[in-house]
Amino acid sequence: MDYSSTARARTSISTQVYLIAGLMLLLGVGALWLFVTGITDALMHRAAGADFGAVLLRYLHVNGIILPLIELGLGLYLIRLAARFLRRDLRAAMWVRQLLLWGVVASTVFVVQALGSALATQMAATEAYMIPVIGVILALTLTYAYLWIGSNIEKFEGQETLAESSARFAWNLLVPTLLVLVFVALRPLEKTFIASLTDQRFAAGADAEVNFVGFDNYAKLLGVRWDLVQCTTDDTGACAVDESGATVFPRARDVLDETYRDLRYREISTWLTLGGTKLIFSARDTNFIGSIGNTLMFTVVSVTIELILGIFIAMVINSKFPGRGLMRAAMLVPWAIPTVVSAKLWTVILRDNSSGILNAGINLIQRTLGLPEESIAWLARPETQIIAMIAIDVWKTTPFMALILLAGLQTIPADIYEAADVDGANRITQFLRLTIPLLRPTIAVALVFRTLDAVRVFDVFQVVLAQKQYSMATYNYYTLTNSQQLGYASAVGVVIFVIILLFTVAYVRILGVSAE
């Protein structure tokens, strides 16, 4: 950029510069306007006499936290950019050009979407086409502005370094993704949390009343208590005993305080019985507390088994033997089968008479040992249901675990084993002192990902057990679809998220997984 061209740029003041700067300013002010109206709206409600908590929740329900922050940041950024653009700053011009390009893309998408819905509704009315027409005009204007800056770039002063221009390029790649992440991840998380504080219902229509209930949903979900229950006494004052000799206890709801009944606590299990006293565990939502137990049990047991088996299998397929390629491919077969299919397969295998292959095998063993043949109804009893779930998951995901661990094993150089051989270390020492420590980062990654998946388990439970027993995810699903309680289901979702978060934090602390 030589002196003469900048001089010429200064002398010819273009109206286009003002127009484009004005457009940026308008967008910036618009964003700030959205931010401010959100707050003034809330303030008006406060002035109208609503209490502060209700106003805050209402604000969160309508606006959330993330959107106002984006509005504020974007507004301030655009206004600053417009000012710099007016001062003919080259870097500002490049960024304005960038934004215009995104604007063109966004308005084109908008036009296509609007046209699509206009065609879908088959409205003959012209209003349906007004929105696409406005979009087209907007897109054309932005394209013109974009092209104008491109061809008049010499009217701007300053220099953009290579690093700055490549950073601008990189933002091009990142911004769409990050924006979408905000809309498909962070904003939903926030919305779900806010919805969990309400009694909103699913598919209830737009005019349905939504009340804020504070943490009531959580209190109901997680409400548990332990109580001591005294035995029923007979005439002599001693504990009553039934025919089988067991001590008779009254129903908990009949003897405990009123809140037990009012809040609909129900007994889940007896933890301890000492003479005439027993310790019982009750919950307000027994299904959900049960689903937490099921999911945690499922997660811990299946991930542990998968890890141990996975290490062995990885070591086997890492060593050279005839047919290794075939073995590797075959091992991964269960992973490639849709869960719906494998779950159905297992319901056949686990059938409760000997037409199921598992019971057939058990019967065969019983017959050879001379024991009476007895089939296990795997999918009918609560305890065995979870065992069956674990078996299906282990069958399906161990190969995958093995695959990740194999990747880790292959990064261990072979010569350290040779060195260990020379030093006389045996295989077990080598495994414990070399393989495991060197595999630790891979094990950590595998454990984190597998655990997160296991806590979220949905399809196996839904396909095989439906509503016989719940995992947290299927409970969430059925709360939403069957009982239509959106607020309550949201609270379930948030609890799942918190449990996952706890697992992640624990892993990061214990195993030292880093983001890098």
Q: How far apart are CA 344 and CA 464, in angstroms?
A: 7
- Provide the token pair at 237: 């004052």
Nearest distance in Å: CB 299, other proteins = 13
Is 496 an interacting residue with respect to other proteins (CB under 8 A)? yes
Applying CB under 8 A, which of residues 94, 111, 439, 463 lies at the interface with other proteins?
463
Binding mask 414-453 for other proteins (x = CB under 8 A): -------xx-x-----------------x--xx--x--x-
CB of 403 to other proteins, least distance (A): 6
492 binds other proteins (CB under 8 A): yes
CA distance 312 to 351: 30
Nearer to other proteins, 157 or 352 (CB): 352
With CB under 8 A as the contact rule, the residue among 129, 395, 417, 431 that binds other proteins is 395
Taking residues 252 to 271 in sequence order and writing x for each that binds other proteins by CB under 8 A, - otherwise, the string is --------------------
**Sole residue written with tokens 């990142």:** 174
Work out which of 59, 94, 399, 465 binds other proteins, going by CB under 8 A.
399
The span of 55-63, 68-76, 378-386, 470-478 binding other proteins (CB under 8 A) equals: 470-478
Site for other proteins in 167-206 (CB under 8 A): 167, 169-171, 173-174, 176-178, 180-181, 183-189, 191-192, 195, 202
| Distance from the Cα of residue 96 to its chain's centroid | 36
Q: Is 465 a residue that touches other proteins (CB under 8 A)?
A: no
Burial of 476 (0-12, 13-18, 19+ CB in 10 A): buried
**Torsion angle of the four alpha carbons 259, 264, 270, 271, in this order, in degrees rounded to the nearest 10:** -60
- 10 CB-contact burial (10 Å; exposed 0-12 / middle 13-18 / buried 19+): exposed
- d(Cα 50, Cα 185) in Å, to the nearest integer? 32
Residue 469 contacts residue 188 (beta carbons within 8 Å)? no
Contact 485, 211 (CB under 8 A): no
Q: Would you count residue 467 as binding other proteins (CB under 8 A)?
A: no
- Could you say which of 346, 470, 478, 488 contacts other proteins (CB under 8 A)? 346
Pairing relation of β-strands 266-274 and 224-230?
unpaired
Q: Which of residues 40-59 bind other proteins (CB under 8 A)?
A: none
Binding window for other proteins (CB under 8 A); candidates: 4-12, 146-154, 226-234, 320-328: 320-328
Residue 406 CB neighbours (<10 A)? 21
Note whether 67 binds other proteins by CB under 8 A: no
> Contacting other proteins (CB under 8 A), which of 5, 233, 269, 353?
353
Q: Which of residues 107-146 bind other proteins (CB under 8 A)?
A: 113, 117, 120
Tokens of 105: 């893309």
Determine, following the binding rule CB under 8 A, whether residue 163 of this chain makes contact with other proteins.
yes
On whether the CB atoms of residues 463 and 343 are closer than 8 A, the answer is yes
How large is the C-alpha radius of gyration of the chain? 33
Of the CA atoms within 13 Å of residue 201, those in its CB half-sphere come to: 10
Rule CB under 8 A: choose which of 65, 362, 387, 500 binds other proteins.
Answer: 500
Residue 345, interface with other proteins (CB under 8 A)? yes
SS3 call for 89: strand
